[in-house]
Structure 1
Amino acid sequence: MHAIRLHDFGPAEHLRYETVSDPVPGPGQVLIRVAAAGVHFIDTALRSGAPGPFPLPTLPTIPGREVAGTVDRIGPDVDGVWLDKRVVAHLGPVPGGYAELAVTETARLHEIPADLDPAEAVAIVGTGRTTMGILLFTELGPDSVVVVTAAAGGIGTLLVQYAKNLGATVVGLAGGPAKVELVRRNGADIAIDYLRPDWPDQVRAELADRRATVLFDGVGGEISRAAVDLLGKGGQHLIYGAADGAPLSLLEEELTTRGITSEMVVGPRLLQRVEGDLRPLEDKAMAEAAAGRLRPAVQRFALAEAAEAHRALETRGTVGKVVLIVPPLRTG
């Protein structure tokens, strides 16, 4: 099969499109003929040699932990009902997704809802489960005023949709007119370009006398600083990323004086909240997608363009979830 392999930690150019041996499913496992593979910020960090929630892999390695496709073979003791099913899975701590074939345990499989294509399913099983986890830290409703700082991103897109489904007023922030238009089409009541120096004043003018109750923050830096200032008393600053470099850290004195809270809601904090079991979050995200309430934004690259996908993700040149599209495996 063809796969993307990393032989040395470093820049995106170290990702190589190569021919490797086909994996073989073991007991309790299936072999997936991959149609789409998810690309995550964690992938770019591990590729560069920076450890994160996962330890650095032994090299050479095939990156990627989110795949969707069709079950091609089953291992010993696996129910034959899985054969030929369209499935999506998060591979967990073991990589191997950037490939034409991938192996995983049946316990990790979800059937793909009929209305989702493989790339959308990949976005839901990974980005969707993170979104469902973030939402555990707040309660949204018609009285909520929600600000999403990276509203054109994979998580931001789903946060906007989920909040709107609950009747909240949603302010979506994104960088550049094209992304702002996508945020507006995604349902945000107010879509603002945070590259404009006067964007906080624009938000305040649109909200009139209302203050934000929840800030979903995936950017960090000066943008997050300005967005926090939109929060009213009792407001929540929920941090899930830092595309601008580093998450915003607020002093306890400011939090107390203003009556707001600020916390990181992914990584160890999220794992603690769900007691280490992420499967229910995947189930929830898949159910929301199957019901048509969540529709992920996806930016597609060919499998052989994995290096280009990593560069685009690292330079914030992407919209939605980044997914590698895998061409049909040639046989014979």
Structure 2
Amino acid sequence: MDAIRHHSFGPPEVLVLEQVPDPVPGPGEVLVDAVAHGVHLLDTSIRRGEAGPPLPLPTLPTVPGREIAGTVSVLGDGVDPAWAGRPVAAHLGPVPDGGGYARRVVVGADRLHALPETPDGTPLDPAAAIAMIGTGRMAAYTLDVAAVTPDDVVVVTGAAGGLGTLFVQEALHDGARVVALAGGPAKLAVLRDLVSDPGRLALVDYSAPDWPDAARTALGATPATLVLDGVGGPLGTAATSLLSGAEGADAAGAGRLVAYGWASGSANRYTAWAPDDERIESALEVRYAVGPDAPPMGDQRPYQERALAHAASGRWRVVTHRVPFAQAARAHRELEERRTTGKVVLV
């Protein structure tokens, strides 16, 4: 079967399409004929040989990827016959040798999610399901950590990414005002098209040198109360300053920073969001959705099921950046260069 492997750590070009033997499901497992394969930012770190906690580096050669969707084709011993032929999605778990960038993937039956039906009676699109199994799960968990209320004014960094697009939609659904930060007119247009009522949404291009001023103008006299940041570094620090940086605002006003990633590549992953302004730092409540200070997610399945249900119902419109399966190197490069919107999926 076709699979994407790398025999060394390095740039995207180490990812190559090869033929490998078909896997065979064991007891309690199924074989899934995959049609969609999730690409995660962590996959790019592993490919470069830079991964650390929560995953060790894999043994080479390796097939990357931990998110797949497709159809169950073979059942292992002890698996419920009802799974045969069903469209499913699955997260393969916290393993360095994921195996998800392959045409056929062995999955534990306990990890399967049947694709929910949309209002027209058809199963959820597999690429959208991929986004919900990993990214949607993390979005649901992070939103629980953030506890958005109708009184919040929410700043979302990386708002056109897989998580950001979901945060923007859910914060608006919860009645909050949202300032969405994204790089360039094309990404802002994607966000604009996501919402039916843009009255509580302000779009700011963070690639413009004066973007913090534009964000403060959008905020007016009301500072942000919550920053959802998966970028860190200078962008995350500048976004955090909006918690008490609005004209006429009380500099000691309360605000929450929820840190859930480190797309900036900061070496200090879990403290890259600390602002420079001591006034803001002293007023800040920091909550982590990743890292050693994050509350445990516990059972991931309820978050996955919630995300799948939101996507199937249309509450969350899922944005995907789709790349042909054989062009995995392109997918990695575009993700690393921030040329993607939404969840990156090999199809």
TM-score range (shorter-chain normalised) is over 0.9
d(CA) in 1 for partners of 2:308 and 2:237?
33
- Quick one: distance in 2 between partners of 1:224 and 1:268? 19
Letter in 2 for 1:297: V
Aligned equivalents of 1:11, 1:171: Cα separation in 2: 34
Amino acid at match of 2:45: A
Consecutive unaligned residues in structure 1, runs of 5 or more = 326-332
Tell me the CA shift for residue 256 of structure 1.
5.4
> What are the residue-to-residue correspondences of 1:293-304 with 2, within 5 Å?
293-304=315-326
Cα RMSD for the two superposed structures: 1.7
Matched, 1:266 2:290: yes
Q: Aligned equivalents of 1:30 and 1:108: distance in 2?
A: 10
What pairs with 1:281-300 in structure 2 (closer than 5 Å)? 281-300=303-322
Once the two structures are TM-superposed, the CA of residue 253 in structure 1 deviates from its matched residue by 4.9
Whether the 8 Å contact between 1:5 and 1:63 is mirrored in structure 2 is yes
Structure 1 runs of 4+ with >6 Å offset: none
Question: Which sits farther off after the overlay, 161-170 or 288-297?
Answer: 288-297
Q: 1:197 to 1:45 in 2, by over 3 A?
A: same
The Cα offsets for residues 107-130 of structure 1, whole Å up to 9 and x where unpaired, read as 111111233211110001110011
Alpha-carbon distance, 1:321 to partner: 0.6
Within-5 A mapping of 1:128-277: 128-187=136-195, 189-232=201-244, 233-246=253-266, 247-250=272-275, 253-255=278-280, 257=282, 259-270=283-294, 272-275=295-298, 277=299
1:34 is aligned to 34
Q: Any gaps of 5 or more consecutive residues in structure 2?
A: 119-123, 245-252, 267-271
> What corresponds to 1:111 in structure 2?
114
**How far, CA to CA, are the matches of 1:292 and 1:5 in structure 2?**
35
Normalised by the length of structure 1, the TM-score is: 0.92
TM-score after normalising by structure 2? 0.89
Structure 2 counterpart of 1:216, which letter? L
Are the equivalent residues in 1 in contact too, given 2:237–2:276 (CA < 8 A)? Answer: no
Aligned length: 322
Contact 2:274 2:281 in 1 (8 A): no
- The whole-number CA distance in structure 1 between the counterparts of 2:75 and 2:297 is 30
Secondary structure in structure 2 of the residue aligned to 1:104: strand
The farther-off stretch of 260-269 and 169-178 is: 260-269
Cα offset for 1:41?
0.8
Percent identity for Structure 1 against Structure 2: 50
Shift of 1:269: 4.1
C-alpha contact 1:250 1:262 (8 A) present in aligned 2: no
1:7-86 to structure 2, matched below 5 A, reads: 7-52=7-52, 53-86=54-87
Residue 307 in structure 1 maps to residue 329 in structure 2: yes
- How far, CA to CA, are the matches of 1:203 and 1:314 in structure 2? 25
2-structure distance, mates of 1:143, 1:184? 22
In 2, Cα distance between the equivalents of 1:177 and 1:183? 10
Instruction: Call closer, same or farther: CA 1:33–1:268 in 2, change over 3 Å.
Output: farther
